[in-house]
Amino acid sequence: MVENEGLERVVRIEKKFDALSVSVGERFNNVDERFDEVRDHFVEQREYIEFAYDRLDRRISEGLARLEQRMSEGFAASDHRFSTIHQRMTDGFAASDQRMDGSISAWTGSTSAWTSSISVWTHSTSAWPTASPLRINASANSSRR
């Protein structure tokens, strides 16, 4: 009887171990399924991130290309405006230089005529008697006496 009880006890323990191993196996399978779900979510998330990154990269590249095009057009327009202004200023300075050169040569010609007439006048008046200021003062003082 004792042997039967010991044997029954061993059988009960074996049944409990078998049930426990089935339960542990089920739990491991359940954990494996959950890890697979988490892995699948990570894969899905990574695919979405790569998709979103590619889309964002494409939009940024297109936007930068448009910006570069607009800036190039704007700089070209500014360069054209500045070159037009530069040409107008260059033409204006050239015209001003020509007017100045004409005025200077006309003035030089008129001053040479004026200078020659002054030299004629000074030569003709050099024959006049000159009185020193002291003589003039002395003659003025003598008339007062």
Per-residue pLDDT tens over the stretch 55-80 = 999 999 999 999 999 999 999 999 99
User: With bands split at pLDDT 50, 70 and 90, how would you rate the model's confidence at 26?
Assistant: very high
Q: How far apart are CA 94 and CA 100, in angstroms?
A: 10
Q: Looking at residue 127, what DSSP letter applies? A: T
Residue 145 has pLDDT above 50, yes or no: no
For residue 95, tell me if it sits in a domain.
no
Q: What pTM was computed for the model? A: 0.41
For residue 101, tell me if it sits in a domain.
no
What tokens does 71 get?
């800036």
CA–chain centroid gap for 112, Å, is 58
Range(s) of the domain holding residue 21: 2-85
Q: How far apart are CA 138 and CA 134, in angstroms?
A: 6
Mean pLDDT of the chain: 81
For residue 10, tell me if it sits in a domain.
yes
How many domains is the chain built from? Answer: 1
Residue 17 has pLDDT above 60, yes or no: yes
For residue 102, tell me if it sits in a domain.
no
